[in-house]
Structure 1
Amino acid sequence: MKIIDRTALTLLIFGGIHLLLIGLFQFNIVETLLGELDQWGVRIIYILIGLSALWCFKYYSFTPRGGSRLKDR
């Protein structure tokens, strides 16, 4: 599971940087490297990033040692 977690986190970070580049510079690095959206390589990368984001939802259940910081609020 550790390798899946690290892979998902890496893809999620890559996806965030990708969106940052699109927002700031209108530069789509995935399409630059792999071609247009119609090609399967680009679609697979986008699918993997999306699945990584879904996989990382499990981290919402993690709490610091001793319970949630929001317990008494």
Structure 2
Amino acid sequence: MKIIDRAALTLLIIGGIHLLLIGLFGFNAVETLFGDAEQWGTRIVYILIGLSALWCFKYYSFTPRGGSRLRDR
């Protein structure tokens, strides 16, 4: 699971940087690399970033000290 967690977090960071570039400069790196939004490559990248965001919801169960609140249950 550690590999999936790191991959999801990496994709989520890439997605955040992507949105930063769009917001600041109007530059869409994904569409530049993979074509317009109707192309399959672009859609797959967006789907992977969205799934990564959903996967990272589980981090809400961690405390600021790095431990899980569910450990003692």
Taking structure 2 as the reference length, the TM-score comes to 0.87
Q: Deviations over 1:19-50 (max 9, x none)?
A: 00000000000000000111000000000000
Percent identity, please.
79
* Closer, same or farther: CA 61–39 of 1 in aligned 2, 3 Å: same
Unaligned runs of 5+ in 1: 69-73
Q: Is 2:10 the partner of 1:10?
A: yes
Counterpart Cα distance in 1 of 2:68 and 2:8: 26
* Corresponding letter in the other structure for 2:55: W
CA contact 2:62–2:68 (8 Å) conserved in 1 = no
Number of positions where the alignment pairs a residue of Structure 1 with one of Structure 2: 68
State the partner residue of 1:38. 38
Unaligned runs of 5+ in 2: none
State the partner residue of 2:59. 59
